Amino acid sequence: MISLCPANAGHSNPDKTMIKNILQLYALLVCLITVVILIVSFSMSLNLVTSLVIPEYKYYSSLRSYDSNEAYIEDYEHSIGFTSSSLHELPSSSLDDSERQYWKDKMQKVIALQQLPPNQLDEKRLAARRQYLENKKVQDITSLIYTLQWVLIAMIFFFIHWKIYKKSEK
């Protein structure tokens, strides 16, 4: 018999050892791994539920770009690689025609955004904020489903291997 319990190393009763055979060792190792998976999955699930329940706090730093029209335009310029000072000049003179057209289109979008009347810019900014939150919600729900699948699989593996461990004790 294999005795992996140091507390029982010098005792005369081998039936009191914690792990009697390799099957028990295997079952306990799988149970340990599944418990670690469950802990990580539950913490991820809690994080995702928090994101779904109070997204304004979870994504606060990202939502700051939707606080004002100025912040919205600045974030939009930054997201496409422009600043207000470089708006009327192309990034490089060595661009081919397709790249030049790409950057011109980007510049025109920024200029068009800057020239919108304030009420239309407000509507566009608030619609973009709603879209951002909706996209995050979809991503969080998808991630939560994926995480719950891991929880379910880990629980199944845990209970199967716990039964294997208990049966191998006899």
pLDDT in tens, 99-153: 778 878 888 888 888 888 999 999 999 999 999 999 999 999 999 999 999 999 9
Let me know how long the chain is: 170
Name the pTM for this structure. 0.70
Which has the closest alpha carbon to 85: 66, 107, 101?
Answer: 107
Asked if 113 and 73 count as a contact pair (C-beta separation under 8 A), the reply is yes
User: Per-domain residue ranges for the chain?
Assistant: 20-87+97-169
Distance CA 13, CA 11 (A): 6
Distance CA 7, CA 14 (A): 11
